[in-house]
């Protein structure tokens, strides 16, 4: 979301609007039996009227499938440093994140900042992983950077896995208790996490929200769109060379399988086998 990069921090009213609309979008995916698995600001788009559109379903998968985590093993295999290494001052953290954030937005390299801790583990996860991601986004909207941001993905992974110690609110940035409570109900263990849109709607942070007509109300921000092909609201994407660590050697072989994660193939011989052609007798030539 370019708007978040530009404004750095949203008001609580603005955050309420975007979190509510994003929650509606996520719930619609869950009702269809899918998990998005990649909820992050870059995948939250604004339409011409300023309302949320959820995008990028490349990692979306069905709830009944076994969810493999090979994609994240390179992060786990590396030895992280102390997760307190990033500057503690919120201003310095915001500056560090702002510098890295724009570079990551221009790159195909992902970041574990918005990934729920259970996704990194080997025993699977469910659609509640998407609600964790929404909580991280809400924190970033109100604070200016995600709660687990660090100098590299390995440090971020370490922070996510130790979220009970690393998820803190800087005292110098004002935030209401109800906003804190909602974030903490999103970013907690899966069995204690908010798990449905009804639970989210009933939270005090959304007091006064008309959920039935939320897309009919004026948006928190109205983009200026001059024409149907106006691209002035989009960033330019220059080539950015991110100096990120390479995967460990013992995971290099697994990289080749990433393209096929959650894909299956089954050959149906009865449908694909070509029938043998019957040889027909040559036509007898007719004599006059």
Active-site positions?
38
Task: Evaluate whether 52 touches 46 at the Cβ level (below 8 Å).
Answer: yes
Tokens of 158: 């370490």
Q: Which two tokens stand for residue 112?
A: 């574990």
E strand spans, the chain: 34-35, 44-46, 52-54, 61-62
Name the token pair of 267: 């050959």
- The single-letter DSSP state of residue 105 is H
Tell me the C-alpha distance between 4 and 140, whole Å. Answer: 9
Give the three-class secondary structure for 52.
strand
The DSSP symbol for 275 reads: P
Helix, coil or strand: residue 283: coil
80: alpha, beta or left, given left = phi > 0 and alpha = psi -120 to 50? beta
Judge contact between 178 and 13, C-beta under 8 A: no
Are 217 and 209 in contact by the 8 Å Cβ rule? The answer is no
């Amino acid at each position: 979301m370019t708007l978040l990069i530009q404004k750095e921090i949203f008001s609580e009213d603005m955050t309420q609007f975007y979190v509510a609309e994003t929650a509606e979008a996520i719930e619609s995916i869950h009702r269809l039996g899918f998990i998005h698995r990649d909820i992050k600001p870059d995948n939250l788009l604004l339409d011409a009227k300023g309302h949320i559109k959820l995008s990028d379903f490349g990692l979306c998968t069905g709830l009944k499938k076994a969810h493999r985590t090979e994609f994240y093993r390179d992060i786990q295999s590396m030895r992280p440093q102390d997760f307190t290494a990033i500057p503690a001052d919120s201003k310095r953290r915001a500056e560090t994140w702002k510098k890295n954030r724009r570079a990551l937005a221009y790159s195909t390299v992902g970041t574990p900042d918005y990934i729920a801790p259970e996704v990194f583990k080997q025993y699977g996860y469910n659609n509640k992983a998407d609600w964790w991601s929404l909580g991280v986004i809400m924190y970033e909207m109100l604070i200016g950077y995600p709660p687990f941001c660090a100098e590299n993905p390995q440090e971020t992974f370490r922070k996510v896995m130790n979220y009970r110690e690393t998820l803190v609110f800087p005292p110098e940035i004002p935030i209401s208790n109800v906003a804190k409570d909602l974030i903490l109900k999103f970013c907690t263990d899966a069995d204690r996490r908010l798990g449905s849109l009804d639970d989210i709607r009933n939270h005090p942070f959304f007091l006064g929200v008309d959920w039935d007509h939320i897309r009919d109300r004026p948006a928190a921000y109205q983009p200026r769109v001059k024409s149907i092909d106006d691209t002035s609201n989009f960033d330019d994407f220059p080539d950015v060379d991110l100096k990120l660590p390479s995967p460990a050697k013992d995971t290099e072989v697994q990289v080749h399988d990433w393209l096929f994660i959650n894909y299956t193939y089954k050959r149906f011989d009865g449908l694909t086998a070509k029938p043998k052609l019957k040889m027909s007798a040559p036509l007898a030539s007719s004599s006059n």
